[in-house]
Amino acid sequence: AHVPGLPSAFCSTDLAVQLFYLISGFYMALVLDTKYEHSTAGTRAFLFNRILRIYPLYFFALFIRLLTPNVGLYLEHWAGLKPLLLGVFAASNLFVVGQDMFLWLGIDLQGNLFLTSNFQNIPRSLHTLVLVPQAWSLAIELIFYALSPWLLRKSTRTLGLVIAVSLAMRVFLASQGFGHDPWTYRFWPCEIGIFLLGALSYRWGWGRSL
């Protein structure tokens, strides 16, 4: 769907990302069940290995991005950011955390931030200045990874309740006029239900002890 000229009817961007969440939930449940013991040491090992999976490849992508000819245009816009925002924004570009929230933030000509419910209807959204724009999905995955050692070891009833709340939130937002991007697949409270459905599919089909 990101390649110009190719049809996206086979799999839309939102469906592709949500399938990614679903598979991720399945895999996180699998590795927590089969590889990491339910202890502080097991949790630390799990989180450390998630970092190793994400950051080396992300840093490589960021390095390649900094070598592209038009990167100067992005960095010129950075010069208009206020010092505090510039520091937070640079840190997020380096460490990914928080990049999903940029989809709800616009920036005016004076460098002031404002909230927006639709980044496509404003002149400049903060996410357009991100060096690796696709990394917003990694920011959401990092939230899921941080919650997984605690959440995926809860009872099936608890996970079902979280799923129900997540899906109800999605329906409510759509009924209030928020049935468009970024609400449809980039708002993590609505997407964690899909992640947990993947986890439950492991528990019901292959799980041993979770």
Q: What whole-number distance in Å separates Cα of residue 204 and Cα of residue 2?
A: 34
Q: Where are the alpha helices (DSSP H) in 35-82?
A: 40-66, 71-78
Rounded-to-integer distance, Cα 11 and Cα 19, Å? 10
Residue-level pLDDT at 205? 84
| The pLDDT value given to residue 1 | 64
Give the model's pLDDT for residue 50.
Answer: 96
Quote the CA–CA distance of 129 and 76 in Å, as a whole number. Answer: 10
Between helix 40-66 and helix 136-151 the angle, nearest 10°, is: 180
Position 12 scores a pLDDT of 78
Assess contact for 62 and 75: CB atoms under 8 A: no
Rounded average pLDDT per 10-residue block, the chain, 210 residues: 67 86 96 91 95 96 92 82 90 95 89 90 88 94 96 95 97 95 95 97 73
Please, which residues have CB within 8 angstroms of residue 50's CB and are 6 or more apart in sequence? 142, 145
* The model's pTM: 0.90
b/e map 70-80, b = 16+ CB within 10 Å: eeeebeeeeee
Backbone angles phi, psi at 33, to 5 degrees: -75, -35
d(CA 75, CA 131): 9
